[in-house]
């Protein structure tokens, strides 16, 4: 599988489960701030990227298994991970790909939400994004069409992608709304990577 095919595989098999995973982590890892959830998700994506996709039969199960390994590592390195969490992630129904009721709603609404996010982009940013993504113009052609520099086009596309990614990351499945109060961010974030 070449890299574009691998990105598509991730898009089809891992991305749909990300917001569910984040919601679960946010609810369960009260000692974790959003930055920690970000770290964990990024680490998980890095691990999954290194895997042989042909051996993965269930993306959701693999994602949770990866996170479980990471949490166990964090715990060993005395990062703050409540021990009972490891037991809980074990008891999750990892094999079944059946989404719960909230996930089914999530799947239905996912594209609607994307559309809303795109619609909410600043006008020029949105136009650039639409020309690139919907019309399939190259960045250079978008720049020529709109009379912008290619750098500006790149900036708009970056902003669009970053905002879409950030919004999806903070989406909370409906059933979890009561737990969605933002947890306090840890102040000592600077020590990442030094341990």
Partner 1 sequence: MTRIMETISELAARWAVRADGGAIGPDEQRELETWLAADSRHRGAYVRARAQWVDLDRLAALHGPAGEPPAASSMVEEPVPDPTAANAGVTVKPGATAAALSRRQLLAAGIAAVGVFGGGLSWMILREGRERYASGIGEVRRIALEDGSTLLLNTASKVTVRLTKKQRDIRLVRGEALFDVAHDKSRPFIVQANDTAVRAVGTAFAVRLEAAQVDVTVTEGVVEVADSKTMAGLGPATPATSRPGVKRVVAHERVVIARARAPDVKPIAPAEADRQLAWREGLVSFDGESLQAAVAEINRHNRRQIVIDDPVLAAMPIVGVFRAIDLEGFSAAAAAALKARAIPDGDVIRLQPGAVPTLN
* Per-residue buried b or exposed e for 173-185, using 16+ beta carbons within 10 Å of the residue's own CB: beebeeeeeebee
- The tokens 């795109």 sit on which residue? 118
Maximum alpha-carbon separation in the chain: 57
The residue ranges that bind partner 1 (CB under 8 A) are: 4, 7-8, 10-16, 18, 38-39, 41-49, 57-59, 61-62, 65, 94-99, 103-104, 107-108, 110-112, 114-115, 118, 130, 133-140, 154, 157-158, 161-162, 164-166, 168-169, 192-193
Shortest distance (Å) from residue 7 CB to partner 1: 5
Please count the CA atoms within 13 angstroms of the CA of 18 that sit on its side-chain side.
Answer: 24
Q: How far is the CB of 32 from partner 1 (least distance, A)?
A: 15
- Taking the complex as a whole, the smallest distance from the CB of residue 71 to partner 1 amounts, in Å, to 15
**Tokens representing residue 112 in the block:** 């609607």
Q: Please state, in angstroms and rounded to a whole number, the distance separating the CA atoms of residues 33 and 48.
A: 23
Report the nearest approach of partner 1 to the CB of residue 57 (Å): 4
- Of 78 and 108, which has the nearer Cβ to partner 1? 108
């Amino acid at each position: 599988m070449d890299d574009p095919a691998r990105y598509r595989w991730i898009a089809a098999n891992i991305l749909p489960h990300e917001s569910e995973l984040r919601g679960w982590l946010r609810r369960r890892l009260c000692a974790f701030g959003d930055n920690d959830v970000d770290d964990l998700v990024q680490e998980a994506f890095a691990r999954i990227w290194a895997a042989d996709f042909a051996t993965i039969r269930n993306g959701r199960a693999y994602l949770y298994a990866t996170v479980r390994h990471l949490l166990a590592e964090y715990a060993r390195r005395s990062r703050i991970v409540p021990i009972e969490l490891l037991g809980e992630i074990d008891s999750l129904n990892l094999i079944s790909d059946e989404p719960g009721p909230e996930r089914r709603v999530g799947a239905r609404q996912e594209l609607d939400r994307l559309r809303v996010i795109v619609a909410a982009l600043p006008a020029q940013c949105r136009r650039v994004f639409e020309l690139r993504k919907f019309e399939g113009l190259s960045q250079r052609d978008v720049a020529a069409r709109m009379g912008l520099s290619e750098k500006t086009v790149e900036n708009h596309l970056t902003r669009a992608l970053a905002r879409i990614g950030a919004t999806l990351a903070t989406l909370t499945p409906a059933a979890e709304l009561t737990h969605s109060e933002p947890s306090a961010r840890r102040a000592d974030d600077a020590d990442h990577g030094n341990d």
